[in-house]
Structure 1
């Protein structure tokens, strides 16, 4: 993959992420803070962005979001496709919610 294609994909991912984040924050700020792994001040800043600001930020070559799973156990649970998939998914969500609280504290 060429460098220009990678940069364009980063920009597209940035735009998708920012639009999704704004929608989530506007729908339910408390849930968005947890799901996005951001603090309330960041949620307010994202919510207040104009369309022009979103487009300008999305044009950055730096990704606006990052992978939040740093625990191999969470990756294992999230990727488990066995018969107890729902339980694994809930367990992964609980672990991530706990990490989110610890990071923000």
Structure 2
């Protein structure tokens, strides 16, 4: 993959993220804040973006979204392969609880 392809992929990811974020915010604001890990102010800004503004913002060369999972324990819970389905469900629930707690700390 060359540099131009990478930039094109970043721009596509940015536009997809903004469209998804705007849709989530309009459908269920509180859930969107939690799922996206964004502040009220950021949600307000994304909510009022016009299509032209979204295209302009998305066209940058930096990803707008970021990995929220920056903890080895959470990654371990999310990628726990080879366990039973029941253990997988418990691990995912535990990871969700950990990430929810971090969202509350950030808010």
Q: 1:97 is matched with which residue: 92, 96, 100?
A: 100
Deviation (angstroms), 1:69? 0.7
Aligned residues, how many? Answer: 104
Distance 1:18 1:80 in 2: 30
**Structure 1, unaligned stretches of length 5 or more?**
none
Deviation (angstroms), 1:80? 1.7
The TM-score normalised by the length of structure 1 is 0.95
Distance 2:2 2:56 in 1: 23
Q: How does 1:80-91 map to 2 (within 5 A)?
A: 80-81=80-81, 82-83=83-84, 84-91=87-94
Distance 2:58 2:29 in 1: 21
Task: State the partner residue of 1:67.
Answer: 67
**RMSD of aligned Cα (Å):** 0.8
List, as ranges, runs of 4+ consecutive aligned residues in structure 1 with deviation greater than 2 Å. Answer: none
Distance 1:50 1:95 in 2: 35
